[in-house]
Structures are given as structure tokens and as C-alpha cells.
Structure 1
Amino acid sequence: MKRIKLGLVAKLLIAIVLGIIFGQLAFLPDFIIQIPVTISAIFSSLLKFIIPLMILGFVVIGIADLTQGAGKLLGITTLMAYSSTLIAGITAYFVAINVFPLFIDASLSEGVSGDQSSLEPLFSIPLEPLLDVTSAIVFSFMFGISISWLKGQGKGETMYNFFSEFNLIIVKLLSSLIIPGLPIFIFGNFVNLSYAGSVFSILSIFWKVFIIIISLQLILVTIFFVIAGVYTKKNPLILMKNQIPGYITAVGTQSSAATIPVNLEIAKKNGVSIQIREFIIPLAATIHLLGSIVTVTSCVTAVLLMYNMPAQFGMMAGFIAMLGVAMVAAPGAPGGAIMSALPFMTMVGIDPTGTLGNLLITLYLTQDSFGTAANVSGDNAIAVIMDKIYHKHILKEPIE
């Protein structure tokens, strides 16, 4: 009998469904349910440790391989990512300010109370990253550009070979350890979410807000892929179909960084050259926050409307512009975007340590995975566009 081999998408979907079911088995003692939660927590620590190394392994050699136009490519990519984030945030505000008043009033704030607490892991392994994400990005830029310059001088072979082989080690770790472990990681996450019950209780009140947020994220991502397809003369439907594994992985992990290895494979399917995909995908996972800013902006606007607080465009525009910068370090951990945004909530009249701040955290975390999925989907649209820009306008050579 031929053995059926499940693909990554099937494994992720099974992990999500089983996690929800397992978390609802009330007859099981807590320590049994804590076992997958503990495994997921350990895997999460491992991910946090590897993420900066992943950035070093991909971005340094990615920039170093761009012997021409590395600075231009970095600048154009950063501008495109920030512009996408800014446009998404402003669009989310106008949708929210015009649609949410149709069904939001002060009565919605009633009945949101604390649900059953989530489970803590049975034990944890202290595994601190060698570098934080920001330090890894800065280091990668400096060394990548420097090695690229050395290559232009006929030098730098030793440093280039070192990071090239380091890149191969990271690729091997991802293919042998991280990607196979993602379904287990997702299973543990959904077990805990299901056990706590917070997702279901909050969605029972705010489901309309979430439907609009998710719909807007999908519309924006679709538009982005259509633009990428039209510009590069590639079929947008195929680009979106290829993105499905990355979207589902991000929904389960709630981490743009954890989805990098899957997104790299998708970029390869999309025909993005190796130099561009290994440079753009890790970089965009850090600086491109299309989905997260839609969620934060929509949730903040919903809370302001709910409590009859001012929500003028001028005030929100400044807040959105700041978020595009403040959330750059957020993708390293689930829920990082809202935590990075909290210090700036005072710009819109919300006390980040008060009741409204806690409500926003709850709202965001309930929907965080879908925002992350929109982030990583947009990353591949950027990669497709930047591949053509680099080869046609910077390198001025045809794509191989």
C-alpha cells in the first residue's frame, strides 16, 4: 500500500484543528494539556535564538552578492515597505471610521471580562539569542555592504566564504529542524488558545470588527499581488496560490520571522532570483507590516468610537506614521506589534497601562495571526517587484 505523504499546508491545517479540539477536552488534567504547550514554548525559544542567526545568514550574503546597487536596493525596498505599511494604515482608518459606527456603540464594551487563564509550560529552557533582531539587521547591513565593497576591490574572499558557508548551515537547520517542527509548534499554540477560551469569548462580541479587518487585509494583499503581477507580467492568481502555505504558517506561528523559511521557498516558486529572495524576504519580515498596522489602526479606531473619544484623521495619521517605524522590531515575537505600539497610544488619548490599553492588547492578540499572515504575504509581492527592479533598472541585466 502506497504511503500518503502530507504536504506542509495539510499538516498545518491538521495541527490547527487538533489543537483546538485538544484544548477543549475538559476531562483531561491540566498537566496533560501543558505537555504540548511546553513543547511549543521550547520550540519558540529555539526560534527566537535562531531568528537573528537567520538574518545574519541570509542578509549578509544577500547584500554581499549584490556587487552593484546594494545601497539602492536597500533604499528602494525600505521605501516600498514603509509606503505599503503607511497606505494600509490610512486605508484601515478610513474604512473603520466610516463602517464601524454602523454597529459600534458603548454597549459593546460591556461583557468583556477575563476568561480562563492560559496555561504556563511545565518548565522552560533559558535560551537567550546571541543578538537581538535590530542588532542582527544593523550588523548584516554593515558587513554585507562592506563585503560587497571589498569584492569590488578584488578582496574579501575569506569573509565572503565564511558567511556563504554560514548561510548553508542556516539553510540546513531550517530544512531539517524548523520547518518539520512548525506543525508541532502550531499545535501547542492552538491548544493553549483553545484552553483559555479568550479567542471565542472576545470574538462573540467583536466578530464584525474582525471580519472587516481580515477582509481588508486580504483585499490589500490581493491588490499588492495584482500590482506585482501586472508590473512583472506574472499571473497574480498563481502568485497568490503559491502564497497559501506561507499564509497558513503565519496564522499558526503568529510570527513573520518564523515564516521566513517557508516564504523563501514561495519566492523561489515565484521565480525570484536567489540573490533577491535571500535579501528581501528576511528584510521585509522585519520592516513590512501591512497586516499588523491594519489590525492596530482598526482596533484603536474601534475602541475610540466605542468610548466616544476623538478620532480625527490628523491625529490618527501621525499615530500611523509613527507605528510604521515603531513596529519594525515587532515581528520577532507573537503580539510584538501591539507591544511596540503601546508607548505611542498616548498620541490618540489612550492610556497604555489602563483599561483601554488592556482591551487593545486583548483585541489585537485575538487577531494577531491574520495580521502576520498579511505581512508575510505582502513580503513576497515586494520580492517579485524588487527582483524586476534590480535586474532591469539597477543591475541592467536580464533575469536569468
Structure 2
Amino acid sequence: MAFLRAYRFPLILLAAIALGSVIGFVLGPKSAVLKPLGDIFLNLMFVIVVPLVFVTISSSIANMSSLKRLGKIVGWMLLIFVVTGVVSSLLMLGAVKMFNPAEGVNIALEEPEEQAEITLGEQLVQTVTAPDFRDLLSKERMLALILMAALFGIAVSQAGEKGEMVARGLSALSEVLIKLVGIILWYAPIGLGAYFAALVGEFGPQLVGSYARAVAVYYPVALLYFIVFFTLYAFLAGGGKGVRRFWSVIPSPAVTALATGSSVATIPANLTAAAKLGIKKDVRDVVIPLGATIHMDGSCISAILKISFLFGLFNIPFEGIDTYLTAILIAVLSGVVMSGVTGGGFIGEMLIVTMYGFPVEALPILAVIGTLVDPPATMVNASGDTVASMLISRFTEGKEWMKNALKENA
């Protein structure tokens, strides 16, 4: 009974997803009729995520005792994001050396659609700023929103006594929004079950086609990284207790990401999970939203898969230290740097094609692979933000951070 009480909501979610998958398998494309139920859940999450991100980040920074602590959190965060990106890339590199994802595959190359050219400077401006306040209030401008929230929090902090009232108001509003997230999540079993039914019904046939081998390589590796390496990270962060507590809270964000295919839509569930883990508010409110835009271990794994797939498709040996180092560099750039840029997925694919000299006709092939591996990739991407927050807590609070959090909440 104690187990059922502790894991009741995750078990309900998993049961709903299993039921949705069976319905999608049985009904096939007809299961698309259930997609609106999933869209309702996704829209609710996207509506709440913009005010939630702005309020939580600005509140955390405004209530920090010192901006030096913000620098410490961000420094450890960037280091951990890069290290985990390299680790995930190395794991897939070993997998594709054992199992060539393009073996026996014969895919006709097609001309890609014309893409509007944009300079690096223009891309940077679009990524970190918005031309109007109303444009800032959009999930499409998440990095710009995060930057403005951070600047607003710093301004409140520097306003002294006059800013204290604003800081308290932000803190209170943050708590209210978290409660609202909890209310929305009660609809999650219906929404996620419907989404899985539509996903299985739509993409099921493609999983057994020309890309089946690539999918068969990616899914087990992503699951291995999710289970084994996240357990390792949780152990490094909090020992055995850290592992147990991590796996007690991660199912909800994981299945939300798996079904919706959106790290941004998973931010509310991740913030709730991080709070249950005892991660301090200033850590989770900075790391989780930023991680949703620039921390993509699952994308690092898929980048290595895409590179090795093209090598096999064009009968080029995928070997040599230079080739491997370049692949890891591209994977980390795609998963940690370019993921925060508008259209970062396409830019990462362009980087693969241009750096290795593949023809541009290879771009649609990479796009198809990206679509097929997107659900587990997003699950790894989003769930990695929570375990990264645990590691950051370990290095900023000390090895007793979890025990201290339990005492504070007692």
C-alpha cells in the first residue's frame, strides 16, 4: 500500500500510456481522432509555461542573497550540460560501431525544400531578443524570455527596499503557478494516453520501413542512457537515497516529454519533480527552464546516429580519431549550443552535411530520422534537466544537500 501511495500517479500515467499505445496499434491511422484530447493537454502546458518560466526565474534571482551565487549555479550548469552531452555522444558512438544503422538500407535521395538564408548575426538577434513585448510572450522565444526574466530579477534585486515588495510578490505568484500546474497535471493521463494513441497510429508503419535499423539502434541506446546513466548521475548527486527519490518523481516529466515531444511543455512537470527532490528554488528555477532550451543529451545521441547513418548510406568508413572527435563536437554543438537557437535542429543537420561534405539532398533523410527518434530523444532531453539539477545541487550545496533539504521541509 505504501508503494501504491508513493507511485500512484506515475502508475496511472503509465497505464494510460499503455492503453493509448494499444489503441493506436489496433486502430492505426484512425486513432488520430483522439489527438484533440492530447492537444488540449499540450495547449494547457504551453499556456502556463511562459508566465511560469518568467515568474520563477525572475523570482529566484530577485530573492538571491548574492549574484555571486547565480554565477556559481550557471557555471556548474554549463559544465554539467557539456559533460553529459559528451558522455551521451560517446555511448552512441560505441553503439554505431557495433551496429551500423545504415546496413542494407537503400534510400533514394530527394531535393530538399528551399530554406531562407539567414546570417549568424540575424540568427543571434532572433534567438536572444524579441522585436516587441508581445513577441516575447511566446514559447517560440524561450531564450529571449529567459534572458529578460533574468535581467528583470537582477533589477528587482538591485532596487533595494523598493524591490523587496516586488520580490515577495513574484515569490507568491510563483507558488500559485506551481499549484496551477498541479491542477493541470490531473488531466495528464487522458491527454498523454490520447497522444500516444495518435503517435503509435501515425508512425507505427514507418518504424518497420527503411529507417527501422536506425530506430532499432537509437531506442535501446536512449533507454540505456536514461536508465543506467541517469541512475549513475542521481547516485553521484545524492547516493542511494538520491537514486530512489529520483526514480520516484521522474516518471511524470518523462512520460510528458515522451508523449508531447516538447522539452518546453515538460518544464512545469520538471519543476514539480525538482521541488519534490528538495532542490533549492533558485537552482531549479534557473536550471530547468534553461535546460529545456540548451541541454539535450537525447539530441547528442541522435546527432551521432545521423552522422553514422549517412556514412553508411554513402559507403564511407566511419572510423578514425578525427572523424570521432568531429562527430562528438557536432553532437555537443547540436545538443547544447544550437538547441537553444531558433531552428536549431535544422542548423545541426546542416552542420552535419556541410562539415563532412555530404550532398544537401541528405537533409530530408536526417529530418525523417529526427522525426522517428524524437519521442525518446525528448524524454532523455527533458528528464536530464532534473538529474542535472541534482548534480548542480551537489556541487553548490555540498554532499549533504538532500539531507538538509529534508530537514528544512520536515
Give the TM-score taking structure 1 as reference length. 0.77
1:39 corresponds, among 37, 41, 61, to 37
Find the aligned partners of 2:191 and 2:226 in 1 and give their Cα distance.
25
Q: CA RMSD in A?
A: 3.4
2:21 touches 2:196 (CA, 8 Å); kept in 1?
yes
Number of the residue aligned with 1:328: 340
Q: Flag the 1:145–1:340 CA change in 2: closer, same or farther, 3 A.
A: farther
1:218 touches 1:374 (CA, 8 Å); kept in 2?
no
1:296 touches 1:338 (CA, 8 Å); kept in 2?
no
1:57 corresponds, among 55, 64, 81, to 55
Can you list the C-alpha shifts for 1:350-376, whole angstroms capped at 9, x where unaligned? 456x3x322222222222222222223
For residue 66 of structure 1, give the secondary structure of its aligned residue in structure 2: coil
1:70 touches 1:145 (CA, 8 Å); kept in 2?
no
Q: Could you tell me the percent identity over the aligned residues?
A: 22
Find the aligned partners of 1:262 and 1:373 in 2 and give their Cα distance.
12
Does 378-387 or 91-100 show the bigger shift?
Answer: 91-100
Q: Flag the 1:297–1:253 CA change in 2: closer, same or farther, 3 A.
A: same
Matched, 1:181 2:187: yes
Q: CA deviation at 1:288?
A: 1.6
1:215 corresponds, among 221, 224, 232, to 224
Can you list the C-alpha shifts for 1:374-397, whole angstroms capped at 9, x where unaligned? 22332222222322433359x9xx
For residue 250 of structure 2, give the secondary structure of its aligned residue in structure 1: helix
1:347 corresponds, among 355, 359, 374, to 355
Find the aligned partners of 1:283 and 1:205 in 2 and give their Cα distance.
33
For residue 156 of structure 1, give the secondary structure of its aligned residue in structure 2: helix
Q: Flag the 1:49–1:242 CA change in 2: closer, same or farther, 3 A.
A: closer
Q: CA deviation at 1:136?
A: 1.0
Find the aligned partners of 1:137 and 1:186 in 2 and give their Cα distance.
27
Matches within 5 A, 1:155-170: 155-170=162-177
Can you list the C-alpha shifts for 1:217-242, whole angstroms capped at 9, x where unaligned? 43332332232235xx8443443344
Q: CA deviation at 1:56?
A: 0.5
Find the aligned partners of 2:198 and 2:8 in 1 and give their Cα distance.
25
Matched, 1:190 2:196: yes
Matched, 1:148 2:148: no
Matches within 5 A, 1:296-375: 296-309=303-316, 311=318, 312-323=323-334, 324-329=336-341, 338-345=345-352, 346-351=354-359, 354=361, 356-375=362-381
Q: CA deviation at 1:290?
A: 1.5
1:73 touches 1:390 (CA, 8 Å); kept in 2?
yes
Number of aligned positions between the proteins: 363
For residue 67 of structure 1, give the secondary structure of its aligned residue in structure 2: coil
Q: CA deviation at 1:139?
A: 0.8
Number of the residue aligned with 1:224: 233
1:62 touches 1:144 (CA, 8 Å); kept in 2?
yes
Number of the residue aligned with 2:390: 384
Number of the residue aligned with 1:206: 214
Amino acid paired to 1:236: V
Find the aligned partners of 1:293 and 1:235 in 2 and give their Cα distance.
25
1:185 touches 1:253 (CA, 8 Å); kept in 2?
no
1:96 touches 1:301 (CA, 8 Å); kept in 2?
no
Give the TM-score taking structure 2 as reference length. 0.76
Q: Flag the 1:225–1:303 CA change in 2: closer, same or farther, 3 A.
A: farther
Q: Flag the 1:383–1:161 CA change in 2: closer, same or farther, 3 A.
A: same
Q: CA deviation at 1:104?
A: 4.5
